[in-house]
């Protein structure tokens, strides 16, 4: 019997590759994707991608979405309370495992494990410990397509925002930046690949600098 799991979905490339690995692992059955959405902005937290595009991803993947709404000025307490309500919902369905796309940040991994253990749940990390250079190559070679939705201008030039994540992007990426942006250098939106039934047609929209350092490119669905 397969273990029923929920998947922490950000809409970005690491999530997409981790989901691909879990879907191809006969031990697990993904029941729901879960995504944190910022109240008022109606966008994926940190990634800045609209709910409309998130729902296009979900429709193409074919797995139901559970949205976790967090306030704009979200404290750790607010975040933990929102997550606990969500976990309680799934525990009532006898689902006690969450899958994450984290790669090497020990502090975040330990935080997730600790918070889940407090409510009787556990975490799985399909990409954990792999080299990010190898992950980025695997992602591209498997045919995933993604675009950069946000960059932290303290570590990466704003011109990288809105670019396609491909081998040209990787060649131009400074050596000081992680190939997967695991330290928060950039965030992305995946619009095609082996987990999707249909490609999401997109174009870039307005570019804005927010909170002093984060340069966002609005990703817009072509109608």
Chain segment 176-223, per-residue pLDDT in tens: 999 999 999 999 999 999 999 999 999 999 999 998 999 999 999 987
Helices 132-141 & 13-23 angle (0-180, nearest 10): 70
Q: How far is CA 63 from CA 2, 85, 187, 199, in A?
A: 16, 21, 22, 16
Question: Per-residue pLDDT averaged across 6-13, rounded?
Answer: 96
**Span 162-173, pLDDT tens digits:** 999 999 999 999
Q: Pick left, alpha or beta for residue 129 (phi over 0 → left; psi -120 to 50 → alpha; otherwise beta).
A: left
The pLDDT, as a whole number, for residue 80 is: 81
Cα–Cα distance measured from residue 118 to residue 202, given in angstroms and rounded to the nearest whole number: 40
Q: How many CB atoms lie within 10 A of CB 169?
A: 18
pLDDT at 120 over 70: yes
Quick check: 70 pLDDT over 70?
Answer: yes
pLDDT, averaged across the chain? 93
* Domain locations in the chain as residue ranges: 3-124, 132-221
Q: Which CATH class is domain 3-124?
A: alpha beta
* Alpha carbon distance 190, 137 (integer Å): 15
pLDDT in tens, 16-63: 999 999 999 999 999 999 998 887 776 786 767 888 999 999 999 999
Which own/partner pairs from 167-174 qualify as long-range (CB within 8 Å, at least 24 positions apart)?
167/140, 170/136, 170/140
In percent, the amount of the chain with pLDDT more than 70 equals: 97
DSSP 179: T
């Amino acid at each position: 019997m397969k273990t029923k799991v929920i998947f922490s979905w950000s809409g970005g490339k690491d999530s997409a590759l981790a989901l691909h690995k879990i879907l191809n692992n006969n031990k697990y059955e993904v029941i729901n994707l879960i995504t944190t959405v910022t109240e008022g902005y109606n966008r994926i937290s940190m990634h800045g991608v609209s709910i409309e595009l998130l729902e296009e991803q979900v429709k193409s993947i074919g797995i139901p979405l559970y949205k976790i709404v967090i306030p704009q000025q979200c404290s750790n307490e607010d975040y933990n309370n929102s997550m606990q309500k969500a976990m309680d919902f799934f525990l009532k369905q006898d689902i006690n495992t969450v899958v994450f796309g984290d790669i090497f940040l020990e502090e975040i991994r330990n935080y997730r494990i600790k918070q889940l253990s407090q409510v009787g749940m556990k975490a799985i990390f399909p990409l954990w410990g792999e080299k990010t250079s190898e992950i980025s190559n695997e992602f591209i070679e498997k045919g995933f397509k993604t675009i950069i939705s946000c960059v932290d201008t303290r570590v990466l030039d704003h011109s990288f925002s809105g670019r396609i994540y491909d081998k040209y992007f990787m060649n131009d990426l400074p050596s000081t930046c992680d190939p997967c942006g695991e330290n928060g250098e950039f965030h992305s939106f995946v619009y095609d690949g082996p987990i999707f039934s249909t490609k999401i047609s997109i174009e870039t929209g307005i570019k804005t600098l927010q909170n002093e350092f984060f340069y966002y490119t609005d990703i817009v669905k072509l109608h």
